[in-house]
Each structure stands twice: as structure tokens, then as C-alpha cells.
Amino acid sequence: MRVGVIGVGHVGLVTGAALAELGHEVVAMDLDVAKIELLRSGKTPFYEPELDELIARQTATGRLLFRSEPAEAVGDAEVLFICVGRPTTAAGDASLTAVEAVGRDVAKHATPGLVIAEKSTVPPGTADRLRLTIARERPGLAFSVVANPEFLREGHAVQDTLRPDRIVVGSDDPGGFEAMRKLYGPLVGLGIPLIETDARTAELSKLASNAFLATKISFANALGRVAELTGADVVRITEVMGADMRIGPAFLRAGLGFGGYCLPKDTQTLERIAERAGYDFGLLRAVMLVNEDAVAAVAAKVEEAVWNLEGKRIALLGLAFKSGTDDVRSSPALILARRFADEGAVVVGHDPMAAAEARAAIPELEVADDPYEAITGAHCVVICTEWPEYRELDLDRVCELAAYPIVVDGRNVLDPDRAEIAGLTYLPVGRPARRGEDVVG
């Protein structure tokens, strides 16, 4: 099928490339001319495993084109994906200006029969609004709007798109379903379920999924606080809980909490949608508070361990909001960096992918090329992101290089026994601390 994609951020770029891989002819468009030029020169604007190869393969087949004029993506398309950003307003509501602008472009350039698919995460009722906008701008145009939320994770985006757990299509008209069944035919043929709902249900199901993942993480973090206060071990508790098929082990890792562009924003958006609709979703406010508290609790461990921060050197291992990405948006590591720098500490960070991005966000941050360089002379080492290489750290070397042998493990990646044998004062989250001879605090 002929597919247009508006917006080549994480979702749009991966969606476009994946649909080309499934055999469709894709024109991906963005108003950001520099980004389109970059893509046309064979470069990807962000890091995502397997994406460079996928884009190279599909541009070579001629099935994936990059353009900067809306007419070029909309004009010939049978299905048009809206993948534009959906930021939040200062009050925390979803900002849908970019989505409405696409509606106007569609009205201007669409061929009759076009199916418009919302991929951006949007509040319930957006498909109706979009339909109305297009009908007002171009009365008489035949078109359908479907909600087709995206569930890809950064760092796994290509696999999540080519082998999703489920595909969701929400629409209030049969023509929309028909086109989407055809489009996703190759995936449905592999046994991937395609769930059909009305548009509002599909829109809300995406926000619900992200808010529920956030709830699981905050539950684990709140439990971690109780475990610390009662001498239990949250890692083992969540292992026990996760072995129950009804609960499952995913998203129960206690630590510095959830960051990134989606979980914090979507949890807040769902809470605001509920409030505006007349329901007090206090549970989600608690989820957000526990998440803030998770970072504050790790900061308190550092402050307690080193005493005054002024002039102390703090090494942050991991700056991205999670491993496998160079994204530092709402990264807990950067919240810590800001706080420690404001308290007068010298903050040095390491990250295999996100050092430059972190530096741009926090100019005072020093960045090191390898973790041991960051650790050298540090009064406290804080593990902020679960990059596999930190799990393998040579802890004897950490002890030798650090000014004080203190490690605060914000992601519980180290083996406490190994840390103790190396002589570290080891302060994990939600599990018993191991205090070496250098007992501070």
C-alpha cells in the first residue's frame, strides 16, 4: 500500500521504516528540513539498535523516501500516519496543536478515501476532533480516521514494531478497519493479534498501558522503602511477586524510578484527562509522587554517605534515562546531576551513548570516556542507568580508584556480596546496605 508518515521522531521513523520492510511504499515527511537532509544523507538523528541498517536497506529498495513537504506525504497516500510530537502544556494537559495542523494539511492535499491513522499518543476524542477539523476545512472529502497507538520501547523499537505483542486499531467506521487489516496483514499472518475497538477506547488504551507500567514501577519503589525500613530485600520480594503469573516480573525493578519522554508524560496526561472528565485518579498522583521520591531517596543516601557535598566529587554512571538509548529526557541521572551541582559538588558522568546529550542539558557536568575515569577520585559513585557494563565493573579497581569507596546502586545492578568482598560501602535501593570499613553516616 502507499503510506505517508508525518513526523520522523522515534515513532514516525521506526514506523515508516518497518512498514517499508513489510513491503509498503512509504513517504516519511517532517517539516524539520535539517532532519530530512540528514536522513537523506544516510544518517539517523538518534540511536536505535538495528534502525540504521533497516533504513539503509529500505531506502536502497526505493520503498522508503524522505521529504519535507506535507503534500508529498499526503497526496498519494492510502494510509497516512500522524507521528508528530504531543508535548504537555504548562498545566500538564496534552498539547494537540501539531495534530490539528496535520488535519489541515490532510484537508488540503488528501486523495478521497484516505485513512488517517493516529500513532501519536493522544487523549480520547482526538480522532473525533480530527475528523471534524478535516470536514470543516474540506467539506465533502471522503476519509476515515483510526487510532492505531504505538507501544514501541526506545532501545527495542525496531523489534517492537516488527514483532509487537498486539496491534490496536480503533475506529468508528468499517473502511478504516479494512485498510488497517490489509496494511498489517503480514504481521497478522505471523499470529500477532490485531485488536479492534472504537476510537476512544484505542486512544485511552495507550495512555492506560503506560500509566499502568508506571504504577508497577512506583509500587516496587514504595515497597523498596518499606523493605529498607523493615530489613527485607525488595529484589527478592519482587522476584517472589513476579513468579505469580497474574503479576509477572516485568516493570517491578525498584531503583531511581521511571524517566524518558513517555511514562512521566502519559501518567500525568491520564490523571489530567480523568480530572477534567470528573474523576479523581488519585492513584496516578501517588505514582508520580513515589517516582519523585525515588530520586530524592537516592540523593539522600549520597548526602548521608559523603556528608557535605560542597567540593566533593560525585561520579554518575549512566546518564540516559535507561540503557540502550542516548535519550536523556526526564532522566533521573540528570535530576541528580542538577541537584548535586547546585549543592556545590563536582559532578562527573559516564554513559556509553548519552554523554554529549547529558552535557548539553547540564553544562556543569564533566563527562568521562570510561567508567573508571569517572570513578577516579570520586567521593561517591552512583549507578544511575542499568547499562550491562556496570554490572561487570571490576570492584577492586573501583575501591582503589575512588577517594571514598562508596557506591550507591540506584538500579540494583551489582551483586552485594561482590561489593562487600571488594571492601565497598554498598548502598542499594530497597535492600540491606553493606558497610565496608569506611563507614560514613
Active site residues: 262
Q: Which is nearer to ligand UGA, 88 or 111 (CB)?
A: 88
The yes or no reply on residue 150 touching ligand UGA (CB under 6 A) is yes
- DSSP β-ladder status, 143-147 and 167-171: antiparallel
Q: Which is nearer to ligand UGA, 255 or 371 (CB)?
A: 255
Tell me how crowded residue 213 is: count the other CB atoms within 10 A of its CB: 18
The yes or no reply on residue 260 touching ligand UGA (CB under 6 A) is yes
The yes or no reply on residue 329 touching ligand UGA (CB under 6 A) is no
Q: Which is nearer to ligand UGA, 177 or 251 (CB)?
A: 251
The yes or no reply on residue 251 touching ligand UGA (CB under 6 A) is yes
Measured at the alpha carbon of residue 216, what is the angle toward residues 146 and 218, in degrees to the nearest 5? 120
The yes or no reply on residue 153 touching ligand UGA (CB under 6 A) is yes
The yes or no reply on residue 152 touching ligand UGA (CB under 6 A) is yes
SS3 238: helix
Compute the distance between CA of residue 19 and CA of residue 164 in angstroms, rounded to an integer: 13
Applying CB under 6 A, the span of 90-98, 122-130, 145-153, 354-362 interacting with ligand UGA comes to 145-153
Residue 156 Rama label (left phi>0; alpha psi -120 to 50; beta): alpha
Applying CB under 6 A, the span of 254-262, 296-304, 342-350, 364-372 interacting with ligand UGA comes to 254-262
Measured from the CB of residue 414, what is the shortest distance to ligand UGA in angstroms? Answer: 16
Q: Which of 110, 187, 217, 424 binds ligand UGA (CB under 6 A)?
A: 217
| Best CA proximity match to 18, nearest among 184, 260, 195 | 184
Q: Which of 12, 70, 259, 436 binds ligand UGA (CB under 6 A)?
A: 259
The yes or no reply on residue 65 touching ligand UGA (CB under 6 A) is no
Measured at the alpha carbon of residue 100, what is the angle toward residues 99 and 101, in degrees to the nearest 5? 90
The yes or no reply on residue 121 touching ligand UGA (CB under 6 A) is yes
Measured from the CB of residue 17, what is the shortest distance to ligand UGA in angstroms? Answer: 16
The yes or no reply on residue 410 touching ligand UGA (CB under 6 A) is no
DSSP code of residue 404: S
CA 150 remoteness from chain centre? 12
Measured from the CB of residue 262, what is the shortest distance to ligand UGA in angstroms? Answer: 3
Residues 6 or more apart in contact with residue 221 via CB below 8 angstroms: 254, 255, 257, 290, 291, 293, 294, 429, 430
Q: Which of 8, 29, 199, 252 binds ligand UGA (CB under 6 A)?
A: 252
* Contacting ligand UGA within 293-322 (CB under 6 A): 321-322
310 within 8 A of 343, measured Cβ to Cβ: yes
The yes or no reply on residue 416 touching ligand UGA (CB under 6 A) is no
Q: For the chain, what is the radius of gyration of the CA atoms? A: 24
What does residue 427 show for φ and ψ, rounded to 5 degrees?
-120, 95
Residue 264 Rama label (left phi>0; alpha psi -120 to 50; beta): alpha
The yes or no reply on residue 74 touching ligand UGA (CB under 6 A) is no
Applying CB under 6 A, the span of 26-34, 163-171, 260-268, 355-363 interacting with ligand UGA comes to 260-268
Look at the alpha carbons of 35, 41, 42, 47 in this order and tell me if their dihedral is positive or negative: negative
Set of cell numbers at residue 310: 560542597
The yes or no reply on residue 326 touching ligand UGA (CB under 6 A) is no
Look at the alpha carbons of 351, 297, 365, 251 in this order and tell me if their dihedral is positive or negative: positive
The yes or no reply on residue 64 touching ligand UGA (CB under 6 A) is no
| Best CA proximity match to 384, nearest among 353, 408, 410 | 410
CA 301 remoteness from chain centre? 26
Interface with ligand UGA: number of residues (CB under 6 A): 21
Q: Which of 120, 205, 210, 267 binds ligand UGA (CB under 6 A)?
A: 210
* Contacting ligand UGA within 343-362 (CB under 6 A): none
Residues near ligand UGA (CB under 6 A):
121, 150-154, 210, 213, 217, 251-253, 255, 257-260, 262-263, 321-322
